[in-house]
Copies of this chain bind each other. A is one copy, B any other.
Amino acid sequence: MNPLIDGLQYANWSEKIFRQMRAGKVDAVHVTITYHETFRETVLQIERWNRWFERFPDLIFQGFSADDVQKARETNRTAIFFGSQNPSMIEDDIGLVEVLHRLGLRFMQLTYNNQSLLATGCYEADDTGLTRMGREVVAEMNRVGMVVDMSHSGERSTLEAIEHSSRPIAITHANPHSWHPALRNKSDTVMKALAESGGMLGFSVYPHHLKGGGACTSGEFCRMIAQTADLIGVENIGIGTDLCQDQPDSVVEWMRVGRWTKKVDYGEGSAAAPGFPPMPDWFNDNRDFGNISEGLKAVGMSEKEVAAVMGGNWLRFFGSGFGPLLNR
């Protein structure tokens, strides 16, 4: 099986998008279900997903383990794995890690740009690394099988998470800082430490993470992937598109400001361009993964390497990261 797996999406979900997942033969997607939401608000998001699973059982189902990727392939559906971009939904309660894992949460970012109770986000001036609670929560995530995701975290916090976590962690959606020096993109130091520990980096097509933004070509994107493979190995990379399809601009504002400020924070945007940026023309929805796999072949990757990047590596990582340690 050469699975097609996307390491992160946060779309304005609809039957149209679920049908595009099938048209694009996407076997599994890690979807963001929550940013700044409390526990109860996050459960409401899970309830929304439960209704979609009930309404569209021929298109999607909830994934809990790596085996569900195989099941998705066999039943011609897409397995949806839940993740959070911020730890706000565990509030101050470490016990919610296991509860949310039982509800299917398989990824949790320790921070979203700002300081959290657990670690420091990439927009803070000072990164003080994992907090006391952060170390405890990482150990609990390790125990139950929830992946630590440091996509929006600062450099020191990310390195400390890699070091402290007993299981490999992920950066589900980011690109090399050396290629495009966005605050969200990652240093060679981080990427190397990540790969050496068995972790995964998912390459993002979100325009603010791309050299040249939406004008970045698929050739440039795929060359960057090939170069990163040369730097940290082809076994530790995948795709994490960060596709935010069909979202109104009010959503990117929620992502950026939540309830933490009364002002407007433009994040990676600006006052002149506050909304979602326009996507590159070679990636607009789930039917476009072929443009990436073809692009990877065009820059000289072997079929085996392309298969690893397009999903094989994520599948292996799911298998070791989501282990059912809860029940004996």
How many residues from A make CB contacts under 8 Å with B?
A: 23
Produce 1/0 per residue, A284-328, CB < 8 A to B.
000000000000000000000000000000000000000000011
Stretch at the interface among A96-104, A164-172, A177-185: A96-104
Assess whether A328 is in contact with B93, with CB atoms less than 8 Å apart.
no
Assess whether B50 is in contact with A98, with CB atoms less than 8 Å apart.
yes
**A33 CA to B73 CA in the complex, in Å?**
39
Produce 1/0 per residue, A63-98, CB < 8 A to B.
010000000000100000000000000000101101
Select which of B51, B64, B99 is within 8 A of A43 by beta carbon. B99
**A61 CA to B75 CA in the complex, in Å?**
32
Given contacts A40-B39, A75-B328, A103-B99, contact A93 B47 (CB under 8 A): yes
- Give A11 Cβ to nearest chain B Cβ, in Å: 21
Residue A46 at the chain B interface, CB threshold 8 Å: yes
**A43 CA to B40 CA in the complex, in Å?**
10
Assess whether A46 is in contact with B99, with CB atoms less than 8 Å apart.
yes
- Give A76 Cβ to nearest chain B Cβ, in Å: 12
Residue A215 at the chain B interface, CB threshold 8 Å: no
Q: Find residues 10-67 in chain A having any chain B CB closer than 8 Å to their own CB.
A: 39-40, 43-44, 46-47, 50-51, 57, 61-62, 64
**A95 CA to B64 CA in the complex, in Å?**
20
What B residues does A46 contact at CB under 8 A?
Answer: 99
What B residues does A98 contact at CB under 8 A?
Answer: 47, 50
Instruction: Count chain B CB atoms within 10 A of each CB in A39, A95, A104 and give the residue with the most.
Output: A95
Assess whether A96 is in contact with B43, with CB atoms less than 8 Å apart.
yes
**A46 CA to B326 CA in the complex, in Å?**
13
